[in-house]
Structure 1
Amino acid sequence: MAAKRVSDEPAFILHQYDWSESSLILEVFTRHRGRVALAAKGVKRPTSNFRPVLLPLQPIKVSYTLGAEGNAEIHSLKGAEWMGGHVMPQGDALWSGMYLNELLMRLLARDDPYAALFDIYAGVVRVLAGQHGGTTEAIEPVLRAFELVLLRELGHLPQLSEESATLGAVNSVARYALVAEGGLRQAATHERAALTGSQWRAIELALQTSQPFPKTLHCLAEPEVAQALKPQLRHLLQYHCGSNMLRTRQLMMDLQSL
């Protein structure tokens, strides 16, 4: 029986590692099939046509055959084509894109499709590619909005219009903090990383719209909102990744300290 083939699947390369002297295993985020692993045979050879195509943060189309009647964890890459549209992000935007890739690697199970999340990720990559000389401050709201959408898509984000312990509606002027094991709770007076109930409610409404990313990004237009969200989302993401600090985040901190 001929192996089943997947053709012209929109995709992004999240990660790659050596398989042999001439081949790689690619971790790929596809639109219709989620995260898949592909064996790319011979792509490390100088004559391979795939070398300039199989790059991170670039929109491509891949074709591959499913191994073991679709039950194998690793499939065989048969074709790849750059879809064009933007150049590789540079500087802080590049590091930010690699950080998002690591989040997807850690949090997405294989063969679990998230078409809407794929489209949002593709849009974020386009935004990062357009950040020529962009500052970290300009990129921060983009990252926070994607983190919120990602957590909601994966079911890791509680309702932000109510206190998680009591299920009571948040008070508009009271301040609340998002914690990994307790959800949304009223913040202590000394906690700086907190938002008002009205701010959390606005984010929740944005996440429920048909365009959650741009609507959520709009909620983060004020710098202090994105700044207050950063440590809260960092702890929540770290909790669900179930590991030590993400490599890309540690590298970014190391570079900033040089």
Structure 2
Amino acid sequence: MATSRGSSPLQAYVLHQHDWSETSLIVELFTRGQGRVVVAAKGAKRPTSNFRAVLLPFQPLLVALGKAPADDAAEIYNLRSAEFAGGRPLLAAAAMFPAFYANELLLKLLARQDPHPALFDAYADTLAALATGAEEAPALRAFELVLLRELGWLPELDTDTLTAEPLQDDGLYTLRADAGLLAQPEGLPGATWRALELALDVAAEMAQAHPGAGGGMAALREACTPVAPALRGPLRSLLHYHLGPLPLRTREVWRGLQRLAAPR
């Protein structure tokens, strides 16, 4: 569906959608220019609607929105047009759960109308990596690190939060949701945390220098690869600290499927 005239197209991904009426949908979009926005896709459920084939998760879109809502509390735009931006392979079945997990994090942690272009680029690059067979764990740990830093919840990973002193390469440190990065005997070496901090800095610099190009996510995934299992617990704890008491539905579904698939 061609982008409407007089409206600058927005790069976007579908995060979630639900029925609004017999013929229409309410769609949560993650856009590069406006952050997370909610739109009404009128007539999207009709067999003849061009929206039916376009409003799919994990596919890059170009969308045009109607005027801003007259009632600021409503926060719902009319979706004027949407078309595929192209250039990305479809996700295989095995990559669906990590991708839905990333979507759920964005839905629950991002405020509406709060743009994060670097995070948008990191999300797009993560989907592309999953689609081409990248390992799930390093891809998700890299995405979680960028998400936490973008939202201001990740401490400096080259500094002891308690003492404000640089990490010792052979010291052991743990990331705690309530206290930051602290010396702990069961933690990761300081050299590992410093390497992750450097990879995050490089990714941020590349994102600023080359917008839309992925921002060095491949290097960050590489830095996460040898320590992805050890990072899972601290990063998930930090995320849940800000998510609150409600569990992530994607993880609950995934654990249920694993239990069903386990040999009895």
Per-residue CA distance 1:55-100 (angstroms, 9 max, x = gap): 0000011111123358450000010001111232122211111100
Question: Normalised by the size of structure 1, how large is the TM-score?
Answer: 0.90
Taking the aligned partners of 2:229 and 2:193, their CA distance within structure 1 comes to 14
Residue of 215, 219, 226 corresponding to 2:223: 219
Counterpart in the other structure of 2:109: 107
**Is it true that 1:50 corresponds to 2:51 in the alignment?**
yes
Q: 1:165 aligns with which of 141, 150, 162?
A: 162
CA deviation map 1:195-252 (0-9, x unaligned): 1001001111111122352332121232xx1110001111111111123220101111
Tell me the distance in 1 between the aligned counterparts of 2:188 and 2:159: 13
Q: Spell out, residue by residue over 1:10-36, the C-alpha distance to the aligned partner (whole angstroms, 9 max, x if none).
A: 100001111111111111001111110
Q: Distance in 2 between matches of 1:39 and 1:123?
A: 27
For residues 218 and 153 of structure 2, what CA distance do their matches in structure 1 show?
Answer: 20
Using the alignment, how far apart are the partners of 1:110 and 1:34 within structure 2?
A: 7
Report if aligned partners of 1:5, 1:65 keep a CA contact under 8 Å in 2.
Answer: no
Q: Please say if residues 35 and 109 of structure 1, whose CA atoms lie closer than 8 Å, have aligned partners that are also in contact.
A: yes
Give the aligned residue type for 2:178: E
Q: Is the 8 A contact 1:149 1:213 kept in 2?
A: no
Which letter does structure 2 place at the counterpart of 1:62? V
Which runs of structure 2 are paired with 1:1-258 in the superposition (5 Å)?
6-69=7-70, 71=72, 72-131=74-133, 138-188=135-185, 191=186, 194-209=187-202, 210-211=205-206, 212-222=216-226, 225-258=227-260
Hey, what's the Cα distance between the residues in 1 that align with 2:149 and 2:40?
31
Q: Deviations over 1:77-126 (max 9, x none)?
A: 01000111123212221111110000011111111111111112111111
Q: State how far apart, in whole Å, the 2-side matches of 1:90 and 1:28 are.
A: 22
**Residue 168 of structure 2: SS of its match in structure 1?**
coil
CA contact (8 A) 1:40 1:76 kept: yes
**How many correspondences in the alignment?**
244
Counting aligned pairs with the same residue, the percent is 48
The whole-number CA distance in structure 2 between the counterparts of 1:111 and 1:5 is 21
Whole-Å separation in 2 of the counterparts to 1:241 and 1:6: 35
- Per the normalisation by structure 2, the TM-score is 0.88
CA displacement at 1:9 relative to structure 2: 0.9
Q: Which 4+ residue blocks in structure 1 deviate beyond 4 angstroms?
A: none
Q: In structure 2, the residue corresponding to 1:208 is in which secondary structure?
A: helix
Does the Cα contact within 8 Å between 2:125 and 2:217 map onto a contact in 1? no
- Show structure 1 runs of 5+ residues with no match: none
